[in-house]
């Protein structure tokens, strides 16, 4: 019995083909989103370099994943696969700052400062 015989001529099997294609495309999109959104060492190196250039000492780097917050607050355009970090840093004089930065693979370049605010000591 040939492999292509009954499978491609049976109407019941062919009606599921669009569903299978959609599921495979969805799974591929989820994989790509997961793969591109993972934190990278180069992101942390760029954050450390930015902090050193501005006289800051990084105490904590956390992930901040709400893209809409920045878009609605300041009309900053970010793709859905942008990697967003919240950086807590301290200055030489003891002041603390919270800096929100992003790395967008669709708009490559250096880190993008989304928000910067001073924290009370």
Q: Is-contact 5 11, C-beta < 8 A?
A: no
Query: In the predicted model, what is the mean pLDDT of residues 39-52?
Result: 89
pLDDT in tens, 79-115: 777 888 999 999 888 889 999 998 888 777 778 888 8
Q: Is-contact 44 61, C-beta < 8 A?
A: yes
- Is residue 72 pLDDT above 60, yes or no? yes
- pLDDT for the residue numbered 4: 57
What gap in Å lies between CA 119 and CA 98, rounded to an integer? 7
- Is residue 25 pLDDT above 90, yes or no? yes
- pLDDT for the residue numbered 1: 47
- Do 72 and 16 lie in one domain? The reply is no
- pLDDT for the residue numbered 78: 77
Q: Is-contact 70 86, C-beta < 8 A?
A: no
- pLDDT for the residue numbered 88: 92
**DSSP designation for 35:** H
Number of domains in the chain: 2
Query: In the predicted model, what is the mean pLDDT of residues 63-67?
Result: 75
> Which positions ≥6 away from 121 have C-beta within 8 Å?
94, 95, 96
Query: In the predicted model, what is the mean pLDDT of residues 23-37?
Result: 88
- Do 14 and 73 lie in one domain? The reply is no
Q: How confident is the model at residue 10 (pLDDT cuts 50, 70, 90)?
A: low
Give backbone dihedrals phi and psi of 52, rounded to 5 degrees, phi first.
-65, -40
What gap in Å lies between CA 88 and CA 58, rounded to an integer? 6
- Do 20 and 43 lie in one domain? The reply is no
- Do 16 and 65 lie in one domain? The reply is no
Domain with 63 in it: 39-119
Share of the chain above pLDDT 90, in %: 21
CATH number for the domain harbouring residue 60: 3.10.450
- Do 24 and 83 lie in one domain? The reply is no
């Amino acid at each position: 019995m040939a492999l292509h015989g009954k499978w491609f001529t049976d109407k019941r099997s062919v009606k599921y083909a669009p569903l299978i294609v959609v599921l495979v495309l969805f799974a591929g999109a989820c994989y790509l989103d997961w793969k591109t959104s993972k934190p990278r060492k180069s992101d942390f190196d760029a954050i450390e370099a930015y902090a050193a250039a501005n006289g800051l000492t990084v105490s904590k780097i956390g992930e901040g994943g709400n893209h809409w917050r920045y878009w609605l607050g300041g009309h900053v355009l970010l793709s859905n696969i942008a990697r967003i970090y919240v950086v807590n840093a301290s200055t030489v004089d003891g002041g603390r700052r919270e800096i929100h930065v992003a790395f967008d693979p669709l708009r490559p370049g250096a880190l993008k400062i989304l928000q910067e605010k001073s924290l009370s000591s």
